[in-house]
């Protein structure tokens, strides 16, 4: 699923998300190419797929540190 960069940036700004990297303190980052999905653990007897968290990766261009922001949940 492609990321709507304009929407993501406007949401981050509206919520006062800082753009300083937690690792190297630089402010040079980008979004990953796609939304990533992180499935919850599932009972082996379950009949339906496990729900997942979908997240927007942001990547520091200086050191490669990756941060995930919630995009949606199942």
Among 7, 10, 23, 39, binds Zn ion (CB under 5 A): 23
Go through 32-50 and write b for each residue having 16 or more CB atoms within 10 A of its CB, e for each that does not.
eeebbeeeeeeeeeeeeee
Whole-angstrom Cα distance, residue 39 to residue 1? 16
Q: Considering only 8-16, 23-31, 35-43, 44-52, which stretch makes contact with Zn ion by CB under 5 A?
A: 23-31
> How many residues make contact with Zn ion (CB under 5 A)?
7
Maximum pairwise Cα distance, the chain: 46
3-state SS class at 3:
coil
Q: Which of residues 34-63 bind Zn ion (CB under 5 A)?
A: 60, 62-63
Q: Which listed residue (1, 7, 24, 50) binds Zn ion by CB under 5 A? A: 24
* Chain residues that interact with Zn ion, rule: CB under 5 A: 21, 23-24, 60, 62-63, 65
């Amino acid at each position: 699923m492609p990321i709507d960069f304009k929407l993501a940036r406007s949401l981050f700004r509206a919520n006062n998300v800082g753009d300083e990297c937690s690792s190297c303190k630089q402010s040079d980052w980008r979004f990953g190419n796609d939304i990533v999905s992180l499935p919850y653990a599932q009972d082996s007897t379950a009949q339906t797929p496990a729900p997942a968290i979908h997240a927007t990766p942001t990547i520091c261009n200086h050191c490669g540190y990756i941060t995930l922001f919630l995009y949606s949940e199942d």
